[in-house]
Amino acid sequence: MSIITWMLLIPLITTVAIFISKNSDGMARVMAFIGSLITLILGIYACFQFDFTGVGYQLGQVNQWFPAFGVSFAVGLDGLSLPLFLLTALLVFLVVIFSWKTEERAPLYFSLLMILETGVLGVFSALDFFLFYIFWEIVLIPMFFIIGIWGGPRRSYASMKFLIYTHVASLIMLLAIGAMAFAASHLLGYFTFSMPEIMGAGFSTGFQLLVFPALLFAFCVKLPVIPVHTWLPDAHVEAPTGGSVLLAGILLKMGGYGLIRIAYMMNPQGAQAYTPLVIILALLSIVYGAYVALSQDDLKKMIAYSSISHMGFVLIGVASLTAPGIKGAIFQMVGHGLVSAMLFMGCGVIQHSCGTRLISKLSGLYSKMPKAMTLFVLAFFASMGLPGFVGFIGEFSVLMGVWQAFRYIAFLVALGMIIAVVYYLWSFQRIAFGETNPELGHIHDGSYYELVPMGILLILSIYFGLQPNGLMAVFDPIVGQILHLFGM
């Protein structure tokens, strides 16, 4: 069995173990800790097994599943999926630590986290469309329950909106996948769901023009892109911290991953034809998203909109179809995964100590919770793309690609970077500086199980900010492959 299969199985085994452990909170979290730790270690081990210069999928496993339909259990990783795969294992592990003191129905919470981990790992490693779609849908269910059970006051609204909105997108994706599979069977002469084989089928331009918009819509909902984004702020506001971290950290990346792997790589002519539309959507996300973030009073909502703005960089980076643009987009996904996780953890700490996340009610927190606020402000700087942090590399690289491909549009992209500074500094000034609001009562600093995961993420975002070459080099083969598909 491939190491990937093991990584998909272990969280599920952990879930079973949690249920067998008779609903003990303590056992549940220890199980989840061990399960996610083993998965992470296996992931790191997989990295050592991985040939970073090799083209194509590695560490794979292909088994017949039901051959009558051409469905197989096929998994594998390449330079695009490996970083996201590893990011998933890391963030789930850190979320388990961060949620250590979850008291309400802890066994269920941790089991859902584990199922979610299997789902997302599956999405990033599946090489068969049937399998891919199953994992894609599995992800929705635990997140629906995490928001719906542990969420805030409007949780039922938010969880329903999340489920229905993204499910509609999934169905449209399913239609597009089905169409591609049937079209491929005509071209190949046999029926298959295998992603590499379908990619090699070579669809006609007319077909691509039809399929690409459907895929674009499906992945733009997930990314999300304005104007199909409103599920995200609501989901974030209501979700518990762990849910928010995973939502922003890895669930959004599924959209970016699908966009590159399926929409762009399988329909190159279609993608090129729709470039103007993609640019408009990306710019809307970057600039409009940043503006909306500026006027938010809820910290989480502000960060949710900043995520939308940052995902716009991913979209426009891919659309530029240049090496720095695509590399920057993938880098931005990884970087945003690290930084947004840190940001939402910071929000969680504030919520936990102050009982509110409303900027208008918070003030003078720096003197009360120096450790948490120091980490939080560094996360802000990392997120606004300050050099030395991971965000800069992605944004700079994307900007480089955009300049090469579209010239002056780079100014609008840069405008988003300025507004990011405005909303981050402004909100930080209001929450952290000045006199402490007496209504907040007793405020304590973050606990170690909250601060340690944030610290780990901070170290990683500084490391990849200063030493991006290792990660960038991982993308070389896949980006070469993409550019080759586009004839560049």
Partner 1 sequence: MIDYFWLIPMPVLFTMILTLLFGKKLGLKSAYLGMLGTIASFCMSLSVLPDVIAGTVKQVEFTWFLNFKFGFMLDPLTITLLLLVSFLATFILLYANGYMHGEGGLMRFFAEVQLFTFSMLGVVIADNILQAFIFWEIMGLCSYLLIGFWFHKPSAAAAAKKAFLTTRVGDVFMLIGILILYTQTGSLQYHEIFAAAANMDPFWITAATLGLFGGVIGKSAQFPLHVWLPDAMEGPTPVSALIHAATMVKAGIYLMARFMPLLVLAPISQNFMVIIGLITALGTALMALTATDFKRVLAFSTLSQLGFMVVALGTLNMAGAILHLINHAFFKALLFLGAGCVIHVTGTNNIWEMGGVWKKDKVTAITVLIATISIAGIPPLSGFWSKDEILIGAAHANPIFCGILLLASFLTAFYMFRLYYVVFAGKPRTEKHGHACGKTMLIPLVVLSFFAAFSGLFSKPIARFITGETMAHGSNTVMMISIVVALLGFLLATVIYGWQKISAAKIANTFKGICTLLINRYYIDAAYNWFCNHIVVGLAKVADFFDKHVIDGIIHIVRDVTLLVSKAAKWVDIYIVDGIIRGICSGFVFGGSEIRKTSTGQLQQYLLLIAAAVTVMIALVWGGLL
397 counts as binding partner 1 under rule CB under 8 A: yes
Q: Per-residue string for binding with partner 1, 164-183, x by CB under 8 A? A: -x------------------
- Bond from prior residue into 224 cis (ω within 30 degrees of 0): yes
Nearer Cβ to partner 1 (70/233): 233
Shortest CB 394 distance to partner 1, Å: 11
In which residue are the tokens 């950290």 written?
Answer: 249
Q: Which stretch binds partner 1 (CB under 8 A): 71-79, 273-281, 320-328, 438-446?
A: 320-328
Q: Which of 143, 239, 248, 432 binds partner 1 (CB under 8 A)?
A: 432
Using CB under 8 A, which of 66, 411, 448, 449 touches partner 1? 411
| Interface segment toward partner 1; rule CB under 8 A; list 4-12, 56-64, 133-141, 292-300 | 292-300
Instruction: State the DSSP code for 288.
Output: I
Give the ranges where 151-288 is alpha helix by DSSP (H).
Answer: 155-188, 195-199, 205-222, 231-238, 241-246, 252-258, 265-266, 268-273, 275-283
For helices 205-222 and 275-283, the axis angle rounded to 10 degrees is 10
Closer to partner 1 by Cβ: residue 10 or 228: 228
Other CB atoms within 10 A of residue 294 CB: 17
Q: Quick check: 403 binds partner 1 (CB under 8 A)?
A: yes
Q: Side chain identity at 33, as an amino acid letter?
A: F
**Residue 23 interacts with partner 1 (CB under 8 A)?**
no
Instruction: Decide whether 149 or 386 has the Cβ nearer to partner 1.
Output: 386
Binding residue for partner 1, selected from 27, 141, 386, 485, defined by CB under 8 A:
386
Is the N-terminal amide bond of 227 cis, ω within 30° of 0?
yes
Closer CB to partner 1, 80 or 400, in the complex: 400
Nearer to partner 1, 121 or 293 (CB): 293
Q: In terms of CB distance, is 261 or 301 closer to partner 1?
A: 301
Q: Which is nearer to partner 1, 115 or 316 (CB)?
A: 316
CA angle 448, 39, 310 (to 5 degrees): 70
- Does 434 help bind partner 1 (rule: CB under 8 A)? yes
Count of residues engaged in binding partner 1, rule: CB under 8 A? 50
Is the Cβ of residue 129 or residue 381 nearer to partner 1 in the bound state?
A: 381
Confirm or reject binding of residue 422 to partner 1 (CB under 8 A): yes
Measured from the CB atom, the residue of 83 and 468 that comes closer to partner 1 is 468
Which residues are CB-contacts of 197 (< 8 A; sequence separation ≥ 6)? Answer: 184, 188
- Cβ-based neighbour number of residue 470 at 10 Å: 10
Helices (H), 284-432: 289-294, 299-320, 323-354, 365-368, 370-383, 390-406, 409-432
- The angle formed by the CA atoms of residues 331, 162 and 417, to the nearest 5 degrees, is 35
Kindly tell me which residue out of 29, 310, 327, 357 binds partner 1, with binding defined by CB under 8 A.
327
CB of 50 to partner 1, least distance (A): 19
**Contact residue for partner 1 among 341, 472, 474, 478 (CB under 8 A):** 472
CA–chain centroid gap for 297, Å, is 24
- The two tokens of residue 264 are 């762009």
Rg (CA), the chain: 21
- Shortest distance, position 346 Cβ to partner 1, whole Å: 17
156 contacts partner 1 (rule: CB under 8 A) = no
As a whole number of Å, the end-to-end CA separation of the chain is 37
454 binds partner 1 (CB under 8 A): no
What is residue 445's DSSP assignment? Answer: P
Can you tell me whether residue 394 is helix, strand or coil?
helix
How is 328-343 classified by DSSP, letter by letter? HHHHHHHHHHHHHHHH
Provide the mask over 220-239, with x wherever binding to partner 1 is found by CB under 8 A and - wherever it is not. ------xx-xx---------
Which residue in 144, 203, 313, 366 binds partner 1 (CB under 8 A)? 366
- Name the residue with tokens 């500026």: 294
- Residue 245 binds partner 1 (CB under 8 A): no
Q: How far apart are CA 397 and CA 391, in angstroms?
A: 10
Residue 212 as a binder of partner 1 (CB under 8 A): the answer is: no
Q: Which member of 16, 182, 388, 488 binds partner 1 (CB under 8 A)? A: 388
Q: Which of 133, 288, 344, 376 binds partner 1 (CB under 8 A)?
A: 288
Angle between helices 81-98 and 323-354 (to 10 degrees): 10
Binding positions for partner 1, rule: CB under 8 A: 161, 165, 226-227, 229-230, 288, 291-296, 323-324, 327, 364, 366-367, 381, 386-388, 392-393, 396-397, 399-400, 403-404, 410-411, 414-415, 417-419, 421-422, 425-426, 429, 432-435, 468-469, 472
